[in-house]
Amino acid sequence: MMKSLKIGDLLARTPIVQGGMGVGISLSGLASAVANEGGVGVISSAGLGVIYRDYSPDYNIASIWGLREELRKAREKTRGIIGVNVMVAMSNFADMVKTAIQEKADIIFSGAGLPLNLPSFLTEGCRTKLAPIVSSARAAKLLCEKWLANYGYIPDAIVVEGPKAGGHLGYKADQIEDEHYSLEEILPPIVEEVHAFEAAHDCHIPVIAGGGVYTGEDIYNILQLGAEGVQMGTRFVATEECDADPAFKESYVHARKEDIEIIQSPVGMPGRAIHSSFLEKVKAGLKRPKSCPFNCIKTCDVSRSPYCIMLALYNAFRGRLENGYAFCGANAWRTEKIQSVRELIASLRKEYESFSLRDRLFPNKG
């Protein structure tokens, strides 16, 4: 049987963290469905100012309102674990973190940069856990040491994201296909670094690994490498409860392996997406934003950007793929059907248990 994932006083009976996917792909609908199946549901805070712009034309005010609304709606649907993903690169990073804490989110996951000051936002008596997302043992060590030295705080969990993940990637273009940077290669050194920190400070920090984890066998193999949980995003897109438009989900079902491509995002990072006519126009130089409507990402320079990534991702979320594109993980092309979250997690458990049993019965077999 799958072991439970313990993060401080939180206990997820299913050791799966649903990856935070913006813009709008993982909101309260998907997050609560995952939480109800014993996993950790995660609301993405990216782009809420666009989704909730009817509330206010001010992007940040709308974002704060939107995150409060999504957390409220999630709490109405589940008593399970609900987290929020907040990217360091977002211009309203601080306000999103503060809002998540005020609204009593169970855990904040933070990457797309090193969240070195994340513990500074915690308030007295709050129970929100903090989990940085890293891609190297060096980054894991640095965060643990800086958080302890500057705030007397130890990460409640650490998420390791490999280069097969969807969306923006914390890797250089030449590292994405390099086996030396695969999740299976980078995970053990990070686990070792975390164990050394645990031994030195008498604490426990569960490591959660993601990026290309697709099947129950994948989950089993990753846990054998020392992780205590996995992060999965792509598998949850093709679910009935996913918050994206049906056309977005169908783009996964119809994607071929050759449709998955690495793009250079306007925010200055490589990203993985499903090929679209919109991306063809970008490559042909036919796209050019007139101005920056949101100022949503710190590293986005509108004078050099071929398009507004926020609008492109929002259009995709709404199903208007001719005016945007779908971010995805490396295995999105393997998607065969749209199913419920319950059905998906049940199938993952069954696959996991099958490979676990095989390993016990035939320990020396591949």
- With contact defined as beta carbons under 8 Å apart, do 329 and 165 qualify? yes
Whether 351 is covered by a domain: the verdict is: no
> Do 291 and 198 fall into the same domain?
no
> Do 121 and 27 fall into the same domain?
yes
The pLDDT, as a whole number, for residue 156 is 98
The count of structural domains within the chain is: 2
- With contact defined as beta carbons under 8 Å apart, do 233 and 240 qualify? no
The pLDDT, as a whole number, for residue 295 is 66
The pLDDT, as a whole number, for residue 302 is 64
> Do 294 and 213 fall into the same domain?
no
- Other CB atoms closer than 10 Å to residue 152's CB: what's the count? 8
Whether 362 is covered by a domain: the verdict is: no
Residue 132: φ, ψ to 5°: -75, 155
Whether 96 is covered by a domain: the verdict is: yes
Q: What is the pLDDT of residues 334-361, one digit of tens each?
A: 999 999 999 999 999 999 999 888 877 7
The pLDDT, as a whole number, for residue 306 is 76
What's the pTM value of the predicted model, to 2 decimals?
0.94
- Domain membership of residue 321 as a residue range: 247-332
Whether 345 is covered by a domain: the verdict is: no
Whether 352 is covered by a domain: the verdict is: no
Q: Return the residue matching tokens 């049940």.
A: 346
> Do 215 and 71 fall into the same domain?
yes
Residues sharing a CB contact under 8 Å with residue 254, sequence separation 6 or more, in sequence order: none
Whether 285 is covered by a domain: the verdict is: yes
Of the CA atoms within 13 Å of residue 149, those in its CB half-sphere come to 8
Longest dimension (CA), the chain: 63
> Do 172 and 280 fall into the same domain?
no
Rounded to the nearest 5 percent, the helix, strand and coil shares of the chain are 40, 15, 40
> What parts of the chain have a pLDDT lower than 70?
286-304, 364-366
> Do 147 and 167 fall into the same domain?
yes
> Do 229 and 253 fall into the same domain?
no
Whether 114 is covered by a domain: the verdict is: yes
> Do 133 and 272 fall into the same domain?
no
> Do 202 and 72 fall into the same domain?
yes
HEC secondary structure over 49-83: HHHCCCCCCCHHHHHHHHHHHHHHHHHHHCCCEEE
The pLDDT, as a whole number, for residue 42 is 98
Cis preceding-peptide flag for 23 (omega within 30 of 0): yes
Residue 355: φ, ψ to 5°: -75, -30
